[in-house]
Amino acid sequence: MADTITLSVSRYRPEQESEPIFQDYEVPFHKDWAILDALNYVKDELDGSLSFRWSCRMGVCGSCGMMVNGQPTLTCAAFLSSYLPGPIRIEALRFFPIVRDLVVDITDFMTKLKKVKPWLVRDEEKPLSEGEYLQSPEQLDNYKQYSMCINCLLCYSACPVIGLEPNFIGPAAIALAQRYNMDSRDQGAAERLSILSQDDGMWQCTFVGECTEVCPKGVDPAGAIQRYKLTGATDWLKSVLLPWGSK
Amino acid sequence: MSDRVHYTPYHPKWYRRKMSVWWWLEQWRYTKFVLRELTSIPVAWFVLLTLWQVRALVEGEAAYQRTLLWLGSPALIILNIFLFGGVLFHAFTWFNLAPKAMVVRVAGKRVPDIVIVAQNYAVWIAVSAFVIWIWMKVS
Amino acid sequence: MLKRLTPLLWFLFSAGGTVAALVFPAHMFVTTIAVPMGWLDAPSYASLLDLVRHPLTRLYLFVIISLPLVHGAHRLRYMLYDVLKLKHLTAPIVAVCYGTAVVGSAAAAYFLLNLP
**DSSP per residue over C20-44, as a string?**
HHHHHHHHHIIIIIITTTTSSPPPP
The count of residues in chain C is 116
Residue A55 CB-half CA count within 13 A: 8
C-alpha C16, offset from chain centre: 7
Round to whole Å and give the CA distance between A201 and C19. Answer: 27
Give the number of other Cβ atoms within 10 Å of residue C27's Cβ.
Answer: 20
Cβ contact A229–B101 (<8 Å): yes
Instruction: Work out the angle between the directed axes of helices C6-28 and B40-59 (0-180°, nearest 10).
Output: 70
Mean pLDDT of chain A: 93
Q: Is the pLDDT of residue B105 over 80?
A: no
Lowest mean pLDDT among A18-22, A120-124, B131-135, C23-27: B131-135
Specify the amino acid at residue B41.
I
C76 with B41: CB under 8 angstroms?
Answer: yes
CA angle B122-B126-B132, nearest 5°? Answer: 140
Phi, psi for A100 (deg, rounded to 5): -165, 135
Measured over the CA atoms of residue A174, residue A179, residue A180 and residue A186, the dihedral's sign is: positive
Phi, psi for A175 (deg, rounded to 5): -60, -40
Cβ contact B91–C21 (<8 Å): yes
Q: Is the pLDDT of residue B3 over 50?
A: no
Interface with B, mutate which of A12, A138, A153, A208 (most B CBs under 10 A): A208
Question: In chain C, which among 8-27 make CB contacts under 8 A with chain B?
Answer: 14, 17-18, 20-27
| Residue in C27, C32, C38, C39 with CA at minimum distance from that of residue B76 | C32
Q: In the predicted model, what is the mean pLDDT of residues A186-197?
A: 93
Contact list in A for residue C8 (CB cut-off 8 A) is 233, 236-237, 240
Q: Using 50, 70 and 90 to split pLDDT, how confident is the model at A81?
A: very high
What confidence tens digit (pLDDT) does each residue in A207-240 have? 999 999 999 999 999 999 999 999 999 999 988 8
Round to whole Å and give the CA distance between C81 and A160. Answer: 12
Cβ contact A160–C82 (<8 Å): yes
A43 with B46: CB under 8 angstroms?
Answer: no
Chain C residue with minimum CA distance to B57: C49
Round to whole Å and give the CA distance between A140 and A183. Answer: 7
| Residue in A101, A104, A105, A98 with CA at minimum distance from that of residue A39 | A101
Contact residues for B50 (Cβ-Cβ < 8 A; gap 6+): C27, C31, C61, C64, C65
Round to whole Å and give the CA distance between C70 and A60. Answer: 43
SS3 B89: helix
End-to-end, the C-alpha distance of chain C in Å comes to 40
| Residue in C74, C96, C95, C93 with CA at minimum distance from that of residue C85 | C93
Q: Using 50, 70 and 90 to split pLDDT, how confident is the model at B2?
A: very low
Round to whole Å and give the CA distance between C25 and C27. Answer: 6
This prediction's pTM:
0.90
- By Cβ distance, the residue of B51, B80, B95 closest to C21 is B95
What ipTM was assigned to the predicted interfaces of this complex? 0.90
CA angle B38-B43-B45, nearest 5°? Answer: 105
Contact list in A for residue B5 (CB cut-off 8 A) is 167
Question: In chain B, which among 95-114 make CB contacts under 8 A with chain A?
Answer: 97, 100-103, 108, 110
A5 with A87: CB under 8 angstroms?
Answer: yes
In terms of DSSP H, where are the helices of chain C? 6-28, 45-53, 55-82, 90-113
| Residue in C98, B7, C97 with CA at minimum distance from that of residue A165 | B7
> Rounded to a whole number, what is the largest CA-CA distance in chain A?
73
| Residue in B16, B101, B82 with CA at minimum distance from that of residue A97 | B16
Whether C6 contacts chain A with CB within 8 A: yes
Q: Using 50, 70 and 90 to split pLDDT, how confident is the model at A241?
A: confident
Q: Is the pLDDT of residue B90 over 50?
A: yes
Whether C81 contacts chain A with CB within 8 A: yes
Chain B residue with minimum CA distance to C42: B139
Specify the amino acid at residue A229.
K
| Cis bond upstream, residue A87 (ω within 30) | yes
B51 with C107: CB under 8 angstroms?
Answer: yes
Q: In the predicted model, what is the mean pLDDT of residues B20-26?
A: 89
Cβ contact C82–A161 (<8 Å): yes
Contact list in B for residue C37 (CB cut-off 8 A) is 77
Residue B118 pairs in a beta bridge with none
- pLDDT at position B138 is 82
Round to whole Å and give the CA distance between C66 and C106. Answer: 8
